[in-house]
Amino acid sequence: MHFSTFNVAIGVALGLMAPPATAQVTPQQMQLLVNNCLQCHAAENTSAPLMGDKQAWQARLQKGRNQILRNTVEGINGMPPMGYCSACTEQDLNALIDLMLAPALEESND
Ligand code: HEC
């Protein structure tokens, strides 16, 4: 399942998009997240946007979902290609990206 970037942007702008209660992540994907991504994405001392940091992910969302996926696969600055997750398929990475982006898609009340 792909969100259209356009619809995401409009949904966020209008605050109309219902937050994905939980992104669809399998237990295996959750394990990949813990083993590979959280060492940076749950660590204050890295420049990685942290899990649950709504503002950080909202800022990232501006560049579009496809670009975010590409940066995750190819790497960008301190983000290593595939986030060091050699066992991750593109489907896994997509699911984990959706999980990371989920807070940014929630209705904003701040
Ligand atoms: C070695 C540390 C590290 C690991 C491991 C890591 N990341 Fe990252 N990640 C970063 C940093 C640092 C950034 C910010 C890069 C930038 O934009 O300067 C980032 C950015 C991202 C972004 C935003 C990309 C964008 O275009 O803005 C996503 C999505 C992401 N990581 C997903 C993941 C996933 C999924 C995993 C595990 C499979 C993972 N990362 C593992 C450090 C890490």
- Give per-residue pLDDT as tens, 41-72: 999 999 999 999 999 999 999 999 999 999 99
Ligand 1 centroid, distance to 41 Cα (angstroms): 7
| 2 is a domain residue | no
User: Domain range holding 56?
Assistant: 25-105
Amino acid identity, residue 38? L
In a domain, 65, yes or no: yes
**What is the mean predicted confidence (pLDDT) over 3-29?**
60
pLDDT given at position 58? 95
Q: Model pTM? A: 0.83
d(Cα 36, Cα 18) in Å, to the nearest integer?
Answer: 29
- Residue 79 belongs to a domain: yes
Per-chain mean pLDDT for the chain: 85
Report if residue 20 sits inside a domain: no
User: Using CA atoms, how far apart are residues 11 and 74, in angstroms rounded to an integer?
Assistant: 28
Mean per-residue pLDDT for 69-89? 97
Domain with residue 89: its CATH number is: 1.10.760.10
Number of domains the chain contains: 1
Residue 57 lies in a domain: yes
What are the structure tokens assigned to 6, written together? Answer: 């356009």
Check pocket membership of 65 for ligand 1, CB cut-off 6 A.
Answer: no
Question: What is the rounded distance in angstroms from the CA atom of residue 79 to the CA atom of residue 40?
Answer: 9
Q: How confident is the model at residue 24 (pLDDT cuts 50, 70, 90)?
A: confident
Look at residue 23 and tell me whether its pLDDT is greater than 80: no
Instruction: Give 75 Cα–ligand 1 centroid separation in angstroms.
Output: 7
| Residue 1: inside a domain | no
Domain contains 4: no
How much is the average pLDDT of 78-98? 97
Ligand 1 atom closest to residue 69's alpha carbon, by position in its atom list: 29
